[in-house]
Structure 1
Amino acid sequence: MDSHPSKKQIHWNPRPRTRPGLHLNTEKLPHHRPAIAQLQFTAHAIMAAERIDVRAISGFEIIGKSPFTIRLAEGGIAAIFRYGAIVFFNATEDEKAHLLQTVSPHASGAADLKVEETARVCVSPDEEEGPSGQDIKIKNADRLRLQLIAEVMAKATMLSFQERRAARDFDLSEPLARDLAEDGRFSAKPSELLKTVGNMLLAENRLNGRAGVLDRPDLLWDNPGLSGLYARLEGDYELHDRAAALDRKLTTLSHTSETLVETMRYHSSHRLEQAILLLIFVELCLGLYGHFGR
């Protein structure tokens, strides 16, 4: 007889390696659903103002916040940037006009609707993503890809806006330099000179402080798989090269503004010295008259 008690047989049923919720089909996630159903549509970027308070805009369905992205009444989409750019996707003229009218009370600074970027977006799941001629090819028209395209087109539009302003400021500074070269004096009024200097100083601040042209979009930190698309778009729109060229122009304008300020200060001090000498001369004449006139 066996003195050891019989051991109960252990039945082990291994758990499945896949657990509910850990292996989701990413194509069904909200940000991977196509935000626009059409396979071809237009992307249009404009400069609506110098600054827009996006937090004050209401009355639209918000589908993204970085950048601020809304759905328009007839199915179009718009991305609004605080430095004044708006990028429309598949939007009708009525949708654009309505949004510009809504944004107007919350915008500041002059718009420049002549500055724009336009591209055709084509959904091609089997082709490489990126620019192709006048087209931008993407595998899926989801929110993230549209926001990424909006980031690049908005920056390109802002650069065009600043390039036009820099050219205008150079045109304003050329006559001033010619005046100094000819007779050493300005023909413009002091208020006009100060306005020119102020525009030169503000140009660099607008570029570096508001737009962050060379900064990576926030959405790339959470979605590194879109970095290749962003790099190809950034290269096609020449953001780095244009920003560097504009930076050189703004540096020249900054030096010019400093020269103008110093020249104005010199002329002011020179006139002040002349006034002091004149007062001393008058006082001396009065003293002599009082001394010898008695």
Structure 2
Amino acid sequence: MTGTSEVSNLETPPTNSKSAVRIVARALLVGDRIDAAGLERAEMIATVPLAFRLGPTKFAAFYRFGVAVFAGLTSEEETAFLEKIASRISGKPDGKNEETAVLEIRADYEDRVPPGGPVEMPDLSAARFLIVADVLAKSVSLARDEGKLGGVFDIIEPFAVQLAETGRAPWNRRSMLKLIGQALLAQHRISGRVAVEEKPDILWDRPNLERLYARLEDEYELNERAKAVTQKLNVIVETGQALTDIFDVDRATRLEAAIVVLILAEIGLTLFQIFFSFGHIPV
């Protein structure tokens, strides 16, 4: 964890212990970046990410890397909220990326994350919401990275197949430059991704919720997916470097060939001049 966030109003009204309440939390990829500066208001519960309590069990959080997380809101309410901050969202998402979690709340529950089942918790406090939001936001961000890397791999694969079958790279300069550009673009987009290994700042204040975070992290396989993304990115970067080296070697080889041709032409011209000069020596 790095830094701290200002958190307030972490308590939530008690839940009826006899019946469980189900609330849906949803993370949406809304753009490349959200500028949250100046959106602070009285119902704010945290500054990093900027998060609000909108009701006893209604929350919203916004992450700078383009993800909005809601809990307890209807689709219409989510849309209305996003319309209010539309001017602060830059870039457009490639397709629809979202992640949901069903939260089952009952006072006699302990924090538990059954495989494939609803997340059980005794209450939906602001602190618990921030932990759930952090995991969902990271999952959506990873899904975006996975999609972008998959597109680059689709371009790389035909090149790799031809290189394996023929032992020669396709000497189409434009296609090689395009592939190098795709590799560099993927590196640029992914290199600034959210650090999945960093835990949410709220755990500094609520270490008792560390277990809940760890269980959610395992459920959404954040570490495993982050490692896979890093490995794919390394392959793409190495491929881009290999293509650059091949391109440089090819250009150097052609330059050397041109120099050899010019030297031979110069030698031939010199020999011709010498022969022509000897052929016209007066007797």
Common fold: TM-score over 0.5: yes
Structure 1 residues 181-260: aligned runs within 5 Å: 181=164, 182=166, 184-186=168-170, 187=172, 188-202=174-188, 204-206=190-192, 210-260=193-243
1:46 alignment partner, SS class: strand
- For the pair 1:30 / 2:13, whether they are aligned, the reply is no
Q: Which has the higher contact order (CA 8 A, sep 6+)?
A: 2
2:159 to 162, 169, 176: 176
After superposition, what is the alpha-carbon deviation per residue over 1:203-262, rounded to whole angstroms, capped at 9, x for unaligned? 5513xxx31101111110111111121111111111122222222222222322221221
3-state secondary structure, aligned to 1:121: strand
- 1:227 alignment partner, SS class: helix
Bigger radius of gyration: 1
Shift of 1:99: 3.8
Q: Secondary structure at the match of 2:101?
A: strand
Contact kept in structure 1, 2:15 and 2:105, CA below 8 Å: no
Residues 166 and 203, structure 1, Cα contact 8 Å, conserved in 2: no
Query: SS at 2:37's partner residue?
Result: helix
Instruction: Tell me the distance in 2 between the aligned counterparts of 1:114 and 1:220.
Output: 30
Distance 2:14 2:77 in 1: 17
**SS of structure 2 residue aligned to 1:33:** coil
Deviation at 1:58, TM superposition (A): 6.9
Q: Report how far residue 131 of structure 1 moved.
A: 2.1
State the number of aligned residues. 262
Q: Which amino acid aligns with 1:240?
A: N
SS at match of 1:79: strand
Structure 2 residues without counterparts, runs of 5 or longer = 1-7, 278-283
- Residues of 2 paired with 1:175 and 1:34: CA distance? 58
Whether contact under 8 Å (1:130, 1:232) holds in the other structure is yes
Q: Is 1:126 aligned with 2:126?
A: no
SS in 2 for 1:253: helix
Summarize the Cα distance change of 1:287–1:88 in structure 2 as closer, same or farther, 3 Å threshold.
Answer: farther
Taking a change above 3 Å as real, the CA distance of residues 143 and 266 of structure 1, as seen in their structure-2 partners, is same
Q: Relative to structure 1, is the Cα distance of residues 110 and 270 closer, same or farther in structure 2, using a 3 angstrom cutoff? A: farther
For 1:4-43, list aligned pairs within 5 A. Answer: 30-34=9-13, 39-43=21-25
Moved more, 244-253 or 283-292: 283-292
Measure the CA separation in 2 of the matches of 1:277 and 1:106: 60
After TM superposition, the score normalised by the length of structure 1 is 0.76
Q: 1:60 to 1:163 in 2, by over 3 A?
A: farther
Aligned to 1:131, what secondary structure does the other structure show?
coil
Q: Is the 8 A contact 1:125 1:140 kept in 2?
A: yes
Secondary structure of residue in 1 paired with 2:44: strand
Q: What amino acid is the match of 2:100?
A: T
Note if contact 2:156-2:179 (Cα within 8 Å) is conserved in structure 1: no
**Map of 1:160 onto structure 2:** 143
Gaps of 5+ in 1: 1-28
Amino acid at match of 1:215: E
Partner of 1:48: 30
Residue pair 1:66, 1:219 contacting (<8 A) in 2 also: no
The aligned counterpart of 2:5 is none
Deviations 1:255-288 (A, max 9, x none): 2222122112212222222333344455556656
How far, CA to CA, are the matches of 2:96 and 2:117 in structure 1?
19
Distance 1:189 1:127 in 2: 58
Q: Aligned partner of 2:104: which letter?
A: C
SS in 1 for 2:200: coil
Cα deviation digits, residues 23-50 of structure 1 (max 9, x gap)? xxxxxx8221359999322111122223
Deviation at 1:151, TM superposition (A): 0.2
**Match 2:68 to one of 76, 86, 96:** 86
Give runs of aligned pairs for residues 63-142 of structure 1, distance below 5 A. 63-70=45-52, 76-132=58-114, 133-142=116-125
